[in-house]
């Protein structure tokens, strides 16, 4: 049995992966089996979130016992195949007639390799333009013109200590066009960026130029809404600090999704804004950057005009994007954080104003220094969001570090306020039925869709997996059956009566036509005789109604996977882990699930599964870090 047959027999491939391999075989019957299998696996890798596939570690993609070729033999077959391009340089476009690219140890579908190349090129373009050439000598706020230095001190009273990373971030942002601000929940990313925006406005007004055109964006509607709300709160706090309200008035008060920002085109994955029709903006601030996949980030970066700023905010310890990429990790690999950041690398770049000409960082001539990636990164570590109700920080830190002994002891001690461990409980829907059901049943009492959507965010079951007894799909079916039982004159089972008053829905594919996107959550409400599904719109007070039959692909959302919950927060989270280890479990998954909780966290799972999950990283295959010139030791 050859490799492709073995993969098919093991059920490892999707129809699409197999079809790709078969079409190459039809075009050239002499194509070696290992090349056909690599094509199928490169296609499969994308749905698993990878940019490409590593023939040296096929077991990471397919767990079934397969007699894999040796990496050397596989690489050799790939390099000599007519279907596989092996570009000479990371920034060279690959041959259009080869559907596969083999580069730096990864086999890519050409389209994804090109996204990666274009993204790297776009990031370098943004980062290497200097916002204010005449100020290039100014390295930090200490050298700001007096009027700005005064405002800076007002905005960042702790700056004088020299230890305050928030002021470092803002000071850096004044002089660099590509900035990454990372940190866990509540470390002040949005607060810092709001203050930085005030500085940029003041800088422009002082120079007698128009205030910068600023956009706040995020990958999902909910995340965009949360970001705008945080900015509005931060602005309020500034007004209280005595900052001139006229400056704050130039800041945006609403957020938008990346799709909306770029301008969706019905029934197309292209956008209205691109390199030839760039965004009419001077500053683009994007939150939840860890959720952005490779194609979307490439399109965003290409649409950022020359000379504009791009600020990416995110939590690098969260799960990578559901779709192909792990883009934020790749960028961070090439951009170590500036300044002291507990437990992380410290690095103060000396290249702050070295112009960074375009060029291949990897294949530079011997003796020449690779061009440093022209981005700046500040990692914020101090948690500012004090909640008397939920003391999550010590647990989140242990999970992030993969320290299962500490995580388990914190969970078992029960001393963290708001954190509850249901050890060995595989079915909270059984053990805590009344409490959980009371919440979902109450959703049917709302008559106002905006209120119903807000209430829905009070509690959520989050799962690691979709299938199986602890999977989101099975739990939703059971919850719907239970709810059908609680409704008066329930009639047919909920499963038969798919759309019922109070049903929560989760969109599972992007629909540009509806402006509904993967991960959006809505609620079915009956108004008179008509049942409509309501989803958040641009204005949180005015959700948009859809006829359920007209919706793009969707599921129920009483329980949902942690992956789908990225970018959302819920007052009470029930994190339900599978009984047995599953390869999707990782420390990033647990960390992301736990940090979705605002007031109360319940974890249901066993010691073995938690230990196993914390021993694994949710790493993805990606060549972005390498392409951006990351040092070998920082590449995952």
Ligand X SMILES: Nc1ncnc2c1ncn2[C@@H]1O[C@H](COP(=O)(O)OP(=O)(O)OP(=O)(O)O)[C@@H](O)[C@H]1O
Instruction: Enumerate binding residues for ligand X (CB under 6 A).
Output: 166, 183, 185-191, 230, 237, 384-385
CB of 566 to ligand X, least distance (A): 12
Residue 381 vs 425, nearer CB to ligand X: 381
CB of 518 to ligand X, least distance (A): 21
CB of 312 to ligand X, least distance (A): 13
Residue 379 vs 564, nearer CB to ligand X: 379
Residue 21 vs 380, nearer CB to ligand X: 380
Quote the tokens at residue 155: 């905005």
Residue 241 vs 550, nearer CB to ligand X: 241
CB of 59 to ligand X, least distance (A): 35
Residue 385 vs 547, nearer CB to ligand X: 385
Bridge partner residues of 601 (DSSP): 419, 573
Separation of alpha carbons 542 and 83, rounded Å: 51
185 marked as part of a ligand binding site: yes
Residue 135 vs 229, nearer CB to ligand X: 229
CB of 230 to ligand X, least distance (A): 4
Contacts 24+ apart (CB under 8 A), 457-460: 457/568, 457/569, 457/570, 457/571, 458/570, 458/571, 458/572, 459/570, 459/571, 459/572, 459/573, 459/574, 460/557, 460/558, 460/559, 460/560, 460/565, 460/568, 460/570, 460/572, 460/573, 460/574, 460/596
Residue 101 vs 169, nearer CB to ligand X: 169
CB of 190 to ligand X, least distance (A): 3
Separation of alpha carbons 222 and 457, rounded Å: 11
Sign, CA dihedral 275-277-283-289, equals: negative
186 marked as part of a ligand binding site: yes
CB of 302 to ligand X, least distance (A): 26
CB of 195 to ligand X, least distance (A): 9
Residue 393 vs 490, nearer CB to ligand X: 393
User: Do 457 and 440 contact (CB within 8 A), yes or no?
Assistant: no
CB of 141 to ligand X, least distance (A): 15
Separation of alpha carbons 424 and 502, rounded Å: 31
CA distances from 499 to 71, 495, 549 (A): 51, 9, 9
Residue 343 burial (CB count, 10 A):
9
Separation of alpha carbons 618 and 586, rounded Å: 6
Taking the CA atoms of residue 81, residue 87, residue 90 and residue 96 in that order, the dihedral angle to the nearest 10 degrees is: -90
Separation of alpha carbons 312 and 285, rounded Å: 6
Closest CA to 391 of 183, 589, 576, 599: 599
219 marked as part of a ligand binding site: no
Residue 263 vs 383, nearer CB to ligand X: 383
State the helix-helix crossing angle for 165-175 and 146-155, rounded to 10 degrees.
Answer: 150
Phi, psi of 43 (to 5 degrees): -70, -40
325 marked as part of a ligand binding site: no
Burial category of 509 from C-beta neighbours within 10 Å (exposed 0-12, middle 13-18, buried 19 and up): exposed
The answer for residues whose C-beta is within 8 angstroms of residue 526's C-beta and 6 or more apart is 501, 532
Separation of alpha carbons 431 and 445, rounded Å: 24
Q: Write out the H or E segment, with its range, that includes residue 128.
A: helix 110-128
Residue 190 vs 257, nearer CB to ligand X: 190
User: Do 229 and 299 contact (CB within 8 A), yes or no?
Assistant: no
User: Do 577 and 606 contact (CB within 8 A), yes or no?
Assistant: yes
CB of 536 to ligand X, least distance (A): 17
Residue ranges for the known binding site are 183-190
Residue ranges for the known binding site for ATP are 183-190
């Amino acid at each position: 049995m050859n490799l492709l047959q073995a993969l098919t027999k093991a059920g490892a491939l999707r129809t699409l992966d197999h079809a790709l391999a078969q079409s190459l075989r039809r075009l050239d019957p002499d194509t070696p089996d290992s090349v056909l299998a690599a094509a199928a696996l490169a296609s499969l890798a994308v749905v698993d979130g990878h940019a490409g596939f590593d023939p040296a570690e096929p077991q990471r993609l397919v767990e079934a016992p397969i007699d894999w070729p040796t990496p050397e033999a596989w690489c050799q077959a790939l390099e000599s195949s007519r279907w596989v391009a092996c570009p000479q340089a990371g920034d060279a476009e690959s041959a259009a007639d080869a559907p596969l690219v083999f580069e730096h140890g990864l086999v890519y579908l050409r389209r994804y390799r090109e996204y990666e190349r274009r993204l790297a090129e776009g990031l370098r373009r943004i980062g290497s333009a200097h916002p204010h050439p005449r100020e290039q000598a100014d390295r930090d706020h200490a050298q700001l013109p007096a009027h700005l230095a005064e405002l800076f001190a007002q905005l960042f009273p702790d700056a004088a200590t020299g230890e305050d990373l928030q002021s470092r971030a803002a000071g850096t942002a004044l002089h660099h066009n590509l900035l990454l601000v990372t940190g866990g929940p509540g470390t002040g990313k949005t607060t810092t960026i709001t203050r930085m925006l005030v500085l940029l406005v003041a800088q422009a007004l002082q120079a007698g130029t128009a205030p910068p055109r600023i956009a706040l964006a995020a990958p999902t509607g909910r995340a965009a809404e949360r970001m705008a709300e945080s900015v509005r709160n931060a602005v309020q706090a500034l007004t209280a600090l005595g900052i001139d309200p006229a400056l704050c008035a130039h800041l945006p008060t609403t957020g938008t999704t990346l799709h909306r920002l770029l301008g969706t085109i019905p029934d197309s994955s292209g956008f209205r804004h691109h390199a030839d029709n760039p965004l009419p903006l001077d500053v683009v601030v994007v939150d939840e950057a860890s959720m952005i996949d490779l194609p979307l980030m490439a399109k965003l970066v290409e649409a950022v005009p020359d000379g504009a700023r791009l600020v990416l905010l995110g939590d690098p310890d969260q799960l990578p994007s559901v779709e192909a990429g792990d883009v934020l990790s790749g960028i961070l690999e090439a951009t170590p954080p500036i300044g002291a950041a507990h437990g992380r690398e410290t690095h103060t770049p000396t290249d702050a104003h070295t112009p960074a000409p375009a060029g291949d960082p990897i294949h530079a001539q011997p003796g020449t220094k690779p061009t440093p990636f022209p981005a700046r990164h500040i990692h914020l570590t101090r948690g500012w969001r004090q909640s008397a109700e939920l003391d999550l920080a010590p647990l989140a830190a242990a999970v992030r570090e993969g320290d299962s002994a500490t995580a388990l002891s914190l969970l078992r001690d029960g001393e963290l306020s708001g954190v509850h461990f249901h050890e060995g409980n595989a079915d909270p829907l059984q053990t805590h039925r009344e409490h959980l059901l009371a919440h979902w049943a109450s959703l049917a009492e709302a008559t106002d869709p905006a209120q119903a959507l807000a209430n829905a965010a009070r509690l959520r079951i989050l799962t690691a997996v979709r299938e199986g007894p602890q999977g989101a799909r099975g739990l939703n079916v059971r919850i719907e059956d239970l709810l059908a039982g609680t409704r008066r004159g329930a009639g047919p089972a909920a499963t038969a009566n798919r759309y019922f008053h109070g049903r929560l829905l989760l969109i599972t594919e992007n629909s540009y036509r509806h402006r509904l996107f993967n991960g959006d959550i809505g609620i079915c409400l009956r108004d008179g005789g008509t049942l409509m599904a309501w989803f958040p719109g641009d204005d949180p007070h005015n959700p948009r109604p859809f006829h359920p039959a007209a919706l793009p692909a969707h599921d129920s959302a009483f329980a949902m996977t942690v992956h789908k919950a990225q970018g959302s927060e819920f007052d009470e989270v029930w994190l339900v882990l599978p009984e047995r280890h599953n390869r999707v479990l990782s420390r990033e998954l647990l960390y992301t699930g736990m940090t979705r909780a605002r007031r109360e966290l319940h974890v249901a799972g066993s010691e073995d599964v938690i230990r196993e999950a914390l021993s694994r990283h949710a790493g993805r295959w990606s060549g972005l870090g390498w392409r951006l010139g990351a040092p070998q030791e920082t590449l995952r």
